[in-house]
Amino acid sequence: MRAARIHTWGLPPRFSLTASLPLAPPPSTHMQLRIKAVGLHSIVRGRGQGTHPSCRGATLPFDPSVDGVGLDECSGRLFYINALAAPLLAERANVAVSDLVPLEGVGPSCCDPVAVAALVNPVSSSWMALRRRVVGGVAGLTVLVLGVTSTSGRAAAQVARFLGAARVLGASRSGVDVEGVDEHILLPPAGQQLDISVVGHVHVILDYVGGTAARHVLETVVTPPGLDTQYVHVGDLGGCDELAISGRVLNSKAIRIMGSGMGSWAKQDLRDEIPKLVEFTSTMERPGNVTTYRLEDIESAWNNVGSGVRTVVTP
C-alpha cells in the first residue's frame, strides 16, 4: 500500500510503496475508505517534530496526520474523518464509523475533498474555542480576533458572526478587508504600544498572535465594572509562546484567561461539535491559497510552509 511515515523526528515523512502490509478488512464498527485529501496543518508538522502533546509516547515510524476526507467506494459517499481517528497519509484507512461525518449538503465545499481538508482544521480552532471554552457563548457580544488576516483568523471572524456575535473586530498588521469584520485595527510596528480602549468593551478576545500584542490588548481592553472579558489563547503567530501579564492588570480588570486546543477540551467535545462544524465549513468557498500535492511528493509538500499557504495531500 502507498503510504508516508515519519522515520526521524523533525524530518519530513518518507513515501513508500511498502510502508505497511495490505490493510486488513475493517471490523464491523469501522469502514474502509479511500483517502482523498489530507491537510498538512501546523499541528501536523508539530506532530512530525514529536513535540505536540497529541503524539506524546508515539514511536517511529509515525503518521503525523490529523484529519482528512475519505471515500466509501461501495456507496460513493464522501466522509470527513475526525481528528486523530486513523493514520491518513496512505491510500486507504479503516476508520470507526463514530469518527465519520457524511459530506452531504448544498454548500460549495460539501463535495470538494480538498476544500474540506483545508478548511475544517482552521475553522475548528475558533469553533471549539467559542463553543467549548468561552463561557456562555458569544451571541449578542463583541468579539475581537487578534491575527484576523491569517487563515484561521479569517475563519474565526466568520465563525463568530455565524454563532451570533453582534460585533466582530479584527486586529492584524495587514489592513486588508476580512469578511465578517465590522472594524479593523492595525497592529503597530514592533516596539510601539497597541491601545484598543477606543473600541469600547470587548467581551471575548480570540488570540492567534500571542506575545507582546496579546499583552498590550489585555492591558488596554475596556472591562466595565461587573462585566468580564474572556481571553482565549489559540496560537502564537507572533513567534513568542509566552504571555507576560502583570498582577496589576489581573487585579484591576475582570479578565478570564484560558487556552483552546487539543487537551483543553475532550475528544468527545470535538465529536459532539464536528457535525455542525463540518456543515458550516461546507458553506465556505475553497480558499485561493490552497496547494495540492500527490502522496509521492510528500517531502515537497512538507516543506511548503510559505506565509498563508494551505497545503493538502491527495493520496
| Tens place of pLDDT per residue across the chain (315 aa) | 899 999 999 999 999 986 556 788 999 999 999 999 999 998 999 999 998 888 888 999 999 999 999 999 999 999 999 999 999 999 999 999 999 999 876 555 567 899 999 999 989 999 999 999 999 999 999 999 999 998 889 999 999 999 999 999 999 988 788 888 999 999 888 778 888 998 999 999 999 999 999 999 999 999 988 889 999 999 888 777 788 899 999 999 999 999 998 788 888 898 899 989 998 988 888 877 899 999 999 999 999 876 678 899 999
The reply to whether CATH 3.90.180.10 applies to domain 123-259 is yes
177-213 core/surface letters (b: 16 or more CB in 10 A; e: else): ebebbeebbebeeeeeebebeebeebbbbbbbbbbbb
C-alpha cell read off for 279: 456543515
31 vs 53: CA distance, rounded Å: 28
Residue 165, beta-bridge partner list = none
The tens digit of pLDDT for each residue in 35-76 reads: 999 999 989 999 999 988 888 889 999 999 999 999 999 999
315 vs 303: CA distance, rounded Å: 17
- Could you state, in order of their start, the residue ranges of all structural domains in the chain? 3-108+286-314, 123-259
Q: Report pLDDT for 305.
A: 77
Q: Do residues 144 and 172 make contact, with C-beta atoms less than 8 angstroms apart?
A: no
Residue (of 94, 91, 105, 99) closest to 67 by Cα position: 99
Q: Report pLDDT for 229.
A: 96
Q: Is the dihedral of CA 265, 42, 54, 116 positive or negative?
A: positive
Q: Report pLDDT for 21.
A: 61
Say which residue the cell 482528512 belongs to.
Answer: 68
Q: Do residues 315 and 295 make contact, with C-beta atoms less than 8 angstroms apart?
A: yes
Residue type, 151: T
Q: Report pLDDT for 260.
A: 94
Topology of 3-108+286-314 in CATH? Quinone Oxidoreductase; Chain A, domain 1 (3.90.180)
Say which residue the cell 481528528 belongs to.
Answer: 83
- What's phi and psi for 24, nearest 5 deg? -70, 155
Q: What DSSP letter does each residue of the chain carry, written as one string?
A: --EEEBSSTTS--EEESSSSSPPPPPPTTEEEEEEEEEE--HHHHHHHHT-SGGGTT--SSB-----EEEEETTTTEEEEEPTTSS--SBSEEEEEGGGEEE--SSSTTTT-HHHHHHHHHHHHHHHHIIIIISTT--TTSEEEEETTTSHHHHHHHHHHHHTT-SEEEEEES-----TT-SEEEEPPPTTSPP--GGG-B-SEEEESS-HHHHHHHHHH-B--TT--EEEEE---TTS-------HHHHHHS-EEEEE-SBTTB-HHHHHHHHHHHHHHHTTSPPPTTEEEEEGGGHHHHHT---TT-EEEEE-
Q: Is the dihedral of CA 159, 210, 287, 113 positive or negative?
A: negative
The tens digit of pLDDT for each residue in 90-141 reads: 999 999 999 999 987 655 556 789 999 999 998 999 999 999 999 999 999 9
Q: Report pLDDT for 235.
A: 87
Q: Report pLDDT for 262.
A: 78
Specify the pTM: 0.86
